[in-house]
């Protein structure tokens, strides 16, 4: 590992396995390689996509068998700060390590308890353990402003902050007309694949020249794929990693989910000029901040179909919003800008 500064390394435990479609659902999916500091990243499973090729990052495979050794490493107190991303017992354990070694601990939250529909009455231990962790952590980072504000209200917290996924921005021309519509997401029930299927059934008859695409993998694959296979205008693209090269051929990107953080797939799509049709999940405020798409109600396949169709019928509107998607990606999700924000947070915590 080639150090990029004289600071001790930042320690990160990555407990979420690579989902394969848009990277892990955390700030780690893109920001670390741009940090001006050495990083030691322990991970479960395979390395996160191919994003961690930077000389400032040292990857270490992490298994349960190696957990005691990992803790021993932490107790040496050789790290400038620690970022932990759950589950809750791990956050609490690392917080205790941080208190003993006087190492700042940052907790990352992608979703909040309300999103997961937890019931404190049935999970009192985890509820109070989480409350304990969040109040004593030096900083709590969220991927969306709404999640941060809501959890700060629930817990009366004052140590929250927001850090989005940063992406490398290249110059891409705005799109002119709609030729392809796509959904990029895990094959899980809350993502809204059934709504996408219903919308395609409506639109494929009216607009046979439009191609509909699907990217993803997950537990519903065996039940969903036969249904989509019956559609004439639909093409299944399996699990493409990385996704970035495919966005240049996608015009409208949809995500009719009922639970999200900040969708990294949507962030990537913005940089290629994709216009978004999404539900009002957490992160929608950031993703549509430049009036670059359409917000539709939850569980409404007709609204999804209408949201897509307006861009098919109105190429001027589509092209204008495609330009705005590119502008938003450059202004809000530029990797260099986001990495500076994360560096500032780390400097603040470690000072």
Per-residue pLDDT reduced to its tens digit, 116-128: 444 555 566 777 7
pLDDT of residue 266: 93
Of residues 29 and 94, the one with the higher pLDDT is 94
Alpha-carbon distance 94 to 58, whole Å?
20
Residues of the chain with CATH 3.40.50.2000: 10-166+334-350, 180-332
Residue 351 pLDDT: 84
CA distance 105 to 178: 46
> pLDDT tens digit string along 33-43?
777 788 887 77
pLDDT attached to residue 199:
98
Confidence of residue 86 (pLDDT cuts 50, 70, 90): confident
What digits encode the pLDDT tens for the residues 148-207? Answer: 888 778 777 888 888 887 888 888 999 999 999 999 998 988 999 999 999 999 999 999
Is 221 within 8 Å of 245 (Cβ atoms)? no
Higher per-residue pLDDT: 193 or 44: 193
Of 38-52, 89-103, 187-201, 330-344, the one with minimum mean pLDDT is: 38-52
- The CATH classification number of 180-332 equals 3.40.50.2000
Number of Cβ within 10 Å of residue 170's Cβ equals 8
pLDDT for the residue 95: 92
Mean pLDDT of 31-53: 67
pTM of the predicted protein model: 0.85
Query: Domain spanning 10-166+334-350 has what CATH number?
Result: 3.40.50.2000
Please report where in the chains the tokens 């709609």 appear, as a residue.
178
Mean pLDDT calculated for residue range 283-295: 95
Mean pLDDT to the nearest integer, 70-86 = 85
User: What value does the mean pLDDT take over residues 273-286?
Assistant: 94
Q: What is the pLDDT at residue 122?
A: 53
Q: What are phi and psi of 11, to 5 degrees?
A: -100, 135
Q: So what's the pLDDT on residue 167? A: 82
| Cα–Cα distance measured from residue 173 to residue 145, given in angstroms and rounded to the nearest whole number | 29
Asked if 96 and 58 count as a contact pair (C-beta separation under 8 A), the reply is: no
More confident residue, 189 or 86: 189
Residue 11 to residue 105: CA distance in whole angstroms: 10
């Amino acid at each position: 590992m080639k150090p990029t500064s004289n600071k001790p390394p930042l320690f990160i435990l990555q407990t979420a396995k690579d989902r394969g479609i848009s990277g892990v659902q955390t700030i780690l999916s893109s920001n670390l390689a741009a940090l001006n500091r050495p990083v030691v990243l322990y991970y479960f499973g395979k390395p996160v996509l191919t994003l961690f090729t930077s000389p400032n990052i040292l990857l270490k495979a992490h298994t349960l068998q190696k957990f005691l050794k990992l803790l021993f490493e932490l107790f040496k107190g050789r790290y400038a700060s620690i970022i932990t991303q759950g589950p809750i017992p791990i956050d609490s354990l690392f917080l205790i390590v941080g208190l003993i070694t006087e190492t700042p601990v940052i907790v990352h939250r992608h979703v909040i308890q309300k999103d997961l529909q937890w019931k404190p009455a049935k999970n009192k231990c985890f509820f109070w353990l989480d409350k304990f962790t969040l109040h004593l952590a030096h900083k709590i980072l969220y991927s969306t402003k709404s999640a941060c504000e809501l959890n700060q209200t629930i817990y009366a917290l004052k140590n929250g902050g927001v850090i989005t996924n940063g992406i490398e921005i290249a110059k891409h021309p705005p799109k002119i007309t709609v030729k392809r519509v796509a959904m990029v997401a895990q094959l899980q029930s809350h993502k809204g694949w059934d709504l996408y299927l219903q919308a395609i059934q409506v639109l494929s008859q009216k607009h046979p020249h439009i191609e509909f695409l699907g990217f993803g993998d997950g537990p519903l694959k065996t039940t969903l794929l036969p249904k989509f296979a019956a559609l004439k205008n639909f093409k299944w693209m399996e699990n493409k990693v990385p996704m970035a090269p495919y966005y240049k051929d996608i015009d409208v990107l949809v995500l009719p989910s009922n639970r999200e953080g900040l969708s990294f797939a949507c962030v990537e799509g913005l940089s290629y000029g994709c216009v978004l049709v999404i539900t009002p999940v957490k992160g929608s405020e950031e993703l549509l901040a430049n009036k670059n798409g359409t917000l539709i109600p939850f569980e409404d396949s007709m609204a999804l179909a209408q949201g897509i169709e307006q861009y098919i019928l109105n190429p001027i509107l589509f092209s204008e919003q495609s330009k705005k998607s590119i502008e938003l990606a450059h202004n809000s999700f530029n990797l260099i800008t986001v990495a500076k924000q994360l560096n500032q947070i780390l400097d603040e915590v470690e000072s």
